[in-house]
Structures are given as structure tokens and as C-alpha cells.
């Protein structure tokens, strides 16, 4: 089972964006741990998720409510529910059938907890064990290195993904120009500006003008 991990570590090293992490790495994590669900989350991007998922994660990441989140924050180490609470208490904290067994691991960058890897199993599946924690520890180590190297240089990388015209639009957005004003200055229609911004949001994995400017300016 663990022989698969070196290949996964290499693939993490080759990934360039968070979108690629979700599409290429998460399915492999799900398969490796035989999970019902799996995900990689970065805390500074939670505001871009849909409201229902934001509410779920707000509860899941509450250190007062969730002992796994508290362990993650305090120890920066992988943990499953069996290490920090009893099945009865856990079922009261999280009654969802597809979250009967939960395992989470830290993504750390420059000494700070910046994200997490989460895996869940249904009641019919076996609980996570010490070997699972060991494997997740290795995965989290490589994701932490990825977060420190790739994410901290993301503004440069993302700038390279934008066309010269899109960079002109970013500069005008940063100056507080409206879509209409940008269109007039660049001799394009207001709708063209709107469509360009949508494409740029997708490229940069942001959901607002403010977030786009902040990411590129950082």
C-alpha cells in the first residue's frame, strides 16, 4: 500500500496550481485511503467556496466544537477521531453518516497552519489506523513543502498566466476604475471587460476584484 506514496510525492512536486491539486492529487488520496470523501483545503481560500460549504467548514474548523481541529492547531500533526474522543461523543459532534470516521492532517508553511487534508469514511468502512496516520503525515509534509514553495511564489506564476491585455485590466482595476471606465480607456466594450474578468478570476482562482488585486500585489 505504502509503495504508492513515492509516486504521489513526485506528482505533488510537479503540480503548479491548487486546481491541479484538487483534480489530480485528491482523487489519489481518496483511492489510497479508501475514503468516502477527501479534500485539500487552504484556509485563505475558504471565502471563495459556496455558502453551504463555508458553513460546514466553519463548524468543522471550530477548535471549541471539534476536537480534531483543536488537535490539528495545537500539534500540527495528523489525527483521527479515535485518538481524541469516543465514538459516542463523535457521533454527537458530527452525526453525518458519511463522516463516521474522520482523519485530518496539517499543511504548514513558515511555521503557520495554512490548510488541511481531510478524509472521511462511512460507518460500514473500517476506522482509520496508525498506518493511515503515518501515510498522511508523509503526504502532508510534501503538501507543506508545496505550499511554502509554490503558493508563496503564486503571484509571479499567476502573472505569467495573464495576457498583456488582462494585465492592463488588472492595473486599471487596482486604480479603482469601473468596467465602463476600463472599456473606454482600452477601447473595448464594457461586456468585454466583464468577460475578461471572469476568465481572469478562473485563472487566478479568485472570486472578486479585491482578491485578484491583493493576490497579484502581494
Q: What is the pLDDT of residues 18-64, one digit of tens each?
A: 888 989 999 999 999 999 999 998 887 766 556 666 666 666 677 88
Beta strands in the chain (DSSP E): 37-42, 79-80, 101-109, 112-121
Q: What is the pLDDT of residues 137-182, one digit of tens each?
A: 999 999 999 988 886 655 545 555 788 888 889 888 888 889 999 9
- Decide which of 108 and 213 is more confident: 108
First CA to last CA distance, the chain: 41
Q: What is the pLDDT of residues 69-116, one digit of tens each?
A: 999 999 999 999 999 999 999 988 888 899 999 999 999 988 889 999
* CATH 1.10.10.10 segments of the chain: 154-217
Q: Which residue has 492547531 as its cell numbers?
A: 73
Q: What is the pLDDT of residues 171-205, one digit of tens each?
A: 888 888 899 999 998 999 999 999 999 988 888 88
d(CA 9, CA 12): 5
* CATH 3.30.450.40 segments of the chain: 2-149
Please name the CATH architecture into which domain 2-149 falls.
2-Layer Sandwich (3.30)
Rounded to two decimals, the pTM is 0.68
CATH number for the region 154-217 comes to: 1.10.10.10
Averaged confidence pLDDT in the chain: 86
Amino acid at each position: 500500500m505504502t509503495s504508492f506514496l513515492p509516486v504521489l510525492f513526485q506528482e505533488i512536486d510537479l503540480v503548479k496550481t491548487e486546481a491541479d491539486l484538487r483534480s489530480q492529487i485528491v482523487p489519489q488520496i481518496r483511492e489510497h485511503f479508501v475514503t468516502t470523501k477527501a479534500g485539500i483545503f487552504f484556509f485563505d481560500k475558504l471565502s471563495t467556496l459556496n455558502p453551504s460549504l463555508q458553513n460546514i467548514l466553519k463548524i468543522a474548523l471550530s477548535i471549541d466544537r471539534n476536537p480534531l481541529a483543536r488537535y490539528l492547531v495545537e500539534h500540527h500533526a495528523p489525527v483521527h477521531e479515535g485518538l481524541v474522543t469516543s465514538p459516542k461523543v463523535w457521533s454527537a459532534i458530527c452525526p453525518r453518516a458519511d463522516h463516521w470516521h474522520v482523519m485530518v492532517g496539517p499543511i504548514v508553511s513558515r511555521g503557520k497552519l495554512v490548510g488541511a487534508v481531510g478524509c472521511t469514511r462511512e460507518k460500514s468502512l473500517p476506522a482509520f489506523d496508525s498506518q493511515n496516520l503515518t501515510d498522511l503525515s508523509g503526504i502532508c509534509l510534501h503538501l507543506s513543502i508545496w505550499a511554502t514553495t509554490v503558493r508563496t511564489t503564486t503571484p509571479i506564476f499567476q502573472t505569467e498566466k495573464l495576457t498583456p491585455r488582462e494585465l492592463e485590466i488588472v492595473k486599471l482595476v487596482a486604480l479603482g476604475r469601473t468596467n465602463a471606465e476600463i472599456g473606454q480607456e482600452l477601447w473595448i466594450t464594457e461586456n468585454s471587460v466583464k468577460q475578461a474578468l471572469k476568465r481572469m478570476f478562473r485563472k487566478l482562482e479568485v472570486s472578486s476584484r479585491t482578491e485578484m488585486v491583493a493576490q497579484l500585489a502581494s
